[in-house]
Structure 1
Amino acid sequence: MYGANMQAMDWSDVHYCLAVIQEGSVTAAAKKLGVNHTTVSRRISALEKTLHASLFDRSTSGWSVTPVGESILPNLEQMQEAASAIERSVHADRKDLSGTLRITALDVCIQRILLPGLKAFSEKYPSIHVELLASDEALDLSVHAADIAFRTTNNPPPNVVGKKIANFNYGVYATKRVWEDYMAGRSEVGAISWVLDGKAIPEWLRQSYPDMPIRYRSNSLNVIYDLVRQGSGFAEIPCSLGNSDPDLIKIPAQGVMEPMGFWLLTNLDLRTTARIRIFRDFMLDYLRPIVERFESQSAL
Structure 2
Amino acid sequence: MHKVLQTVVDLFRRRNDDLIAFDEDPYTRSINLERHCFGEFSMANAQANTIMEDQSQVEVASHNALYLGVYDGHGGVEASLYVLNNLFNNLLRFAHENDNAITEATLMNAVADTERGFFDYVLNNIVQIQTIGKVGSCCLAGVLWKGVLYIANLGDSRAVIGSVVDKRVTAVKLTTDHNCNDPVIREELKSMHPGDDTIVMEKNGWRVKGIIMVSRSIGDTYLKRPPFLLPASFPTYEKVPDPFERGVVSAEPEMLTRVIEETDKFLIFASDGLWDLMSNDEAVQIVHKNPRNVSIYLCLVLS
Question: What is the TM-score with the length of structure 2 in the denominator?
Answer: 0.22
Where is the strand percentage greater, Structure 1 or Structure 2? Answer: 2
**Structure of larger gyration radius:** 1
Question: What is the TM-score with the length of structure 1 in the denominator?
Answer: 0.22
